[in-house]
Structure 1
Amino acid sequence: MSRSPVPEGRGPSQRQLRVGELVRRTLSEVLARGDVHDPDLNRLSITVGEVRVSPDLKVATAYVLPLGGSGQDEVVDLLARNRGELRRMIAKKMALKFAPDLRFRLDETFDRLDDTRRMFSQDTVRRDIEADDEEE
């Protein structure tokens, strides 16, 4: 499943990357400081792994993960519930004409890394890799 909001073959523009990183850092800072007026959200430690911004910069999708990985569905729901307040805080801290609408998705990057590590540790896969190395 691809996260890319742009057509196949084209990556995000420099501006999208810059704005995405700025939103990521600002959102991480707001969540780390516990500035949101929601005690349920403030009790959690949340990692913002990446923020992807649409080409028109109007929508920002933040890929998040709670520290330790537990309560993943709850985190996305809590962030969505506080979306308006988070957007206002980000707009206040950033020097953008318009703050993007925030969307939250679970960051599955770490799960895929674990699956890949497990796959490479299997005896049959290791044997195949070693056989390929010997042929070269």
Structure 2
Amino acid sequence: MAKNRFNTGGGPSQRQLRVGELIRRTLSDVLARGDVHDPDLNRMSITVGEVRTSPDLKIATAFVLPLGGQGAEEALSALRRNRSELRRSVSKALTLKFSPEIRFEIDETFDRMDETRRLLSQDNVRRDLEEDEDDEA
């Protein structure tokens, strides 16, 4: 009997993860080489942190952040303005049945990591963590 083809765990499937990573690498390469015909976009150094795809692989959301985090809204508007050219460049490099629509969002994971570090470095949190380690020992 065939295995259940539907992902019931709620997380992305292996295929979604693999295609998302391929799109991320390809999009990063396109942006690094400056293959887009927009001087505003070509002068920016943009990091593509992650790409999440929809279950049908027709929509890809790219989480991006300009180098240093400065000018995020400007970078986002430049990427959105050149969305069709970026989609064409990415689909040319990949062998997918459908060329996914690429959406762009600001990558906030770095901000969340900084906030987590800040919280964990507080004296009362550090003290509680040390107490938990002592209780386990």
TM-score by length of 2: 0.91
Q: 1:4 maps to which residue?
A: none
Pair 1:124–1:75, CA change in 2 (3 A): same
| Partner amino acid, structure 1, of 2:107 | D
Q: C-alpha distance in 2, partners of 1:58/1:37? A: 25
Q: Structure 1: give runs of 5+ residues left out of the alignment.
A: 1-6
What amino acid sits opposite 1:91 in the alignment?
S
What amino acid does structure 1 have at the position aligned with 2:41? L
3-state DSSP class of the match of 2:64? Answer: strand
2:112 counterpart residue number: 112
Deviation at 1:9, TM superposition (A): 3.9
The equivalent of 1:62 in structure 2 is 62
C-alpha separation in 2, matches of 1:8 and 1:95: 27
Q: Judging changes above 3 Å, is the alpha-carbon distance between structure 1 residues 131 and 52 closer, same or farther for their aligned structure 2 residues?
A: same
Aligned partner of 1:3 in structure 2 is: none
Identity between Structure 1 and Structure 2 (%): 70
SS at match of 1:52: strand
Residue 42 (structure 1) aligned with residue 81 (structure 2): no
Quote the Cα distance in structure 1 between the aligned partners of 2:127 and 2:8: 35
Q: Which runs of 5+ in 2 are unaligned?
A: 1-6
Q: Tell me the number of residue pairs that the alignment of Structure 1 and Structure 2 aligns.
A: 130
Give per-residue Cα distances to partners, 1:61-103, cap 9 Å, x unaligned: 0000111110111111111110000001111111112110000
- The 2-side partners of 1:120 and 1:59 are apart by 36
Distance (whole Å) between structure 1 residues aligned to residue 52 and residue 67 of structure 2: 21
Corresponding residue of 1:100: 100
| TM, length-normalised to structure 1 | 0.92
Please state how far the C-alpha of 1:8 moved relative to its aligned partner. 8.3
SS of 2:116 mapped into structure 1: helix
Q: What is the CA–CA distance in structure 2 between the aligned matches of 1:45 and 1:16, rounded to whole Å? A: 26
- Which of structures 1 and 2 has the bigger CA Rg? 2
**Which moves more between the two structures, 47-56 or 92-101?**
92-101
